[in-house]
Amino acid sequence: AQSVTQLDSQVPVFEEAPVELRCNYSSSVSVYLFWYVQYPNQGLQLLLKYLSGSTLVKGINGFEAEFNKSQTSFHLRKPSVHISDTAEYFCAVRGSQGNLIFGKGTKLSVKP
């Protein structure tokens, strides 16, 4: 069965600092991985996705993630965060029936 584990429930950082949000996955089929972002009182939006090809994936708002098959990880990174990046971030893997299976989320709090 497919699953994802987000290793940190909360990540506080200062503005302009780098950040890494960690995600490990488990999958017995072809791996398709996603990061979604949820701003307060909104639905989720796709940030980036890995389907195949280059292991370094670039998304919107300066975020990127690296697919690491040997470590079964898909960590999300940004070199310099802004106050506006404060949100909850969800890692997801496509399940065997095509549905997305989400992690429990990581709340990123960017402080001035």
Binding residues for other proteins (CB under 8 A) = 6, 9, 32, 36, 41-46, 49, 51, 90, 94, 97-105
Least Å from the CB of residue 110 to other proteins: 21
Least Å from the CB of residue 29 to other proteins: 11
Cβ distance to other proteins smaller for residue 49 or 77: 49
Cα separation of 78 and 30, whole Å? 26
DSSP 36: E
Cβ distance to other proteins smaller for residue 26 or 80: 26
Cβ distance to other proteins smaller for residue 19 or 50: 50
For 105, the 3-state DSSP assignment is coil
Least Å from the CB of residue 16 to other proteins: 29
Least Å from the CB of residue 14 to other proteins: 25
Cα separation of 13 and 23, whole Å? 18
Cα separation of 48 and 55, whole Å? 12
Cα separation of 112 and 90, whole Å? 23
